[in-house]
Amino acid sequence: MAEQSQSLRTPATGETPSTPPAGGVSRRALLGTAGATGLALGAAGAGVGYAAAPARATPLSSVGSGRAMFHGKHQPGITESLQARGHLIAFDLAAGAGRTEAAALLRRWSATAARLMAGEPTAHDDTDVARDAGPSSLTITFGFGNTFFARTGLEKQRPSALDPLPDFSSDHLDKARSNGDLWVQIGADDALVAFHALRAIQKDAGSAARVRWQMNGFNRTPGATAHPMTARNLMGQLDGTRNPKPTDADFDQRIFVPSSGEPAWMANGSYAVVRRIRMLLDDWEKLSLAAQENVIGRKKSNGAPLSGGTETTAMDLEKARADGEYVVPVNAHARITRPDQNGGAAILRRPFSYHDGIDADGTPDAGLLFVCWQADPLRGFVPLQRKLDRGDALSQYIRHEASGLFAVPGGAGDGEYVGQRLLEG
């Protein structure tokens, strides 16, 4: 959990998508608008993570026109805005399936992703679930888990950065909902568009792979607020205030594997850490407002640091009260997760909230589907999580229940599929 927000969704032309007539908008009109404007990628944050900057307020009637591009230097779904609906799904290769079957699967998945992200139906037996909708900023992202390489005979190509994450004291991990050979992230600003993509990816898996686990999440819908603002999480906190931008000089260095990096097939890729973090909301909501703010280190109303100012004011870590205690407590989450308190360790954080119902004892099963990106998890997520393990005030109100680490290769060029350099190299 840490500071996170939404990214600026601005068309590549710098123009605002046209507002549809009051009577509605046709799928053709939506696709025409999306194709004309494109998408300029947003930013991501810091602390226990980076995520994107606040999205410009968008009329709900134009949500469908947003379009992300499948082909490019990086895969989609990393630096784009937070999306209203998300699905995370892991697959294991079927018994007997190997490199050949995996290559055919990634070829199918890539072709389907390119079509759906353009607002087109699947090539065969489309379900019509997304009929009448535009692309709705759909993104589909693919990654490989540690076990994928042994199953495909590609052990020599497995990056050392995919070594299993260390154990953390806050872990209560369910192995059945952790890891996996293959990982897919789906996000969109319309729930039906996201579900349509989920079903298409599941069907494309065919006999080559079976679902290991699936998690469903959500964020605030673009246009739901009167003005751009940092998103709130299920604890009611503004989440993502200290997010850096891709324009920062060291952004690519921290988040993406360089084009000259090793292994070569990971050039321009990134590593995703996925954690299902349950929020103990009943305990959290019993705290007074002042106690909640001391846990985080920021005002709940506007995200301003307890040391004073506005949301974007730099936190004064040395400011003390009359009794000598720091105004921002030493174990406050926002203090502990600052990159300048962790040797510069930083991650790009792009999560979804989730709510999976009520347990038998009446407690909500809700929290954060934490997804963070970095060029190397040993320099990003791992040192931050170790620091949090040693005394974060927030730790008693959350529980890490599932975990995964995946190598996400760079984007596919025209005529290529994701992972082609690995599987055909």
Peptide bond into 11 cis (omega under 30): no
> Which residues, in sequence order, are CB contacts of 6 under 8 Å at separation 6+?
42, 51, 52, 53, 54, 55, 81, 82, 219, 220, 222, 230, 231, 240
The length of the chain in residues reads: 425
Structure tokens at 71: 């082909």
The β-bridge relationship of strands 85-93 and 364-374 is unpaired
In angstroms, the CA 231 to CA 238 distance is 6
In angstroms, the CA 144 to CA 184 distance is 9
- Asked if residue 297 lies in contact with residue 288, where contact means CB atoms within 8 angstroms, the answer is no
| Residue 44 Cα distances to 39, 52, 79, 255, angstroms | 16, 4, 6, 10
Active site residues: 239
CA 143, chain centre distance (Å) = 13
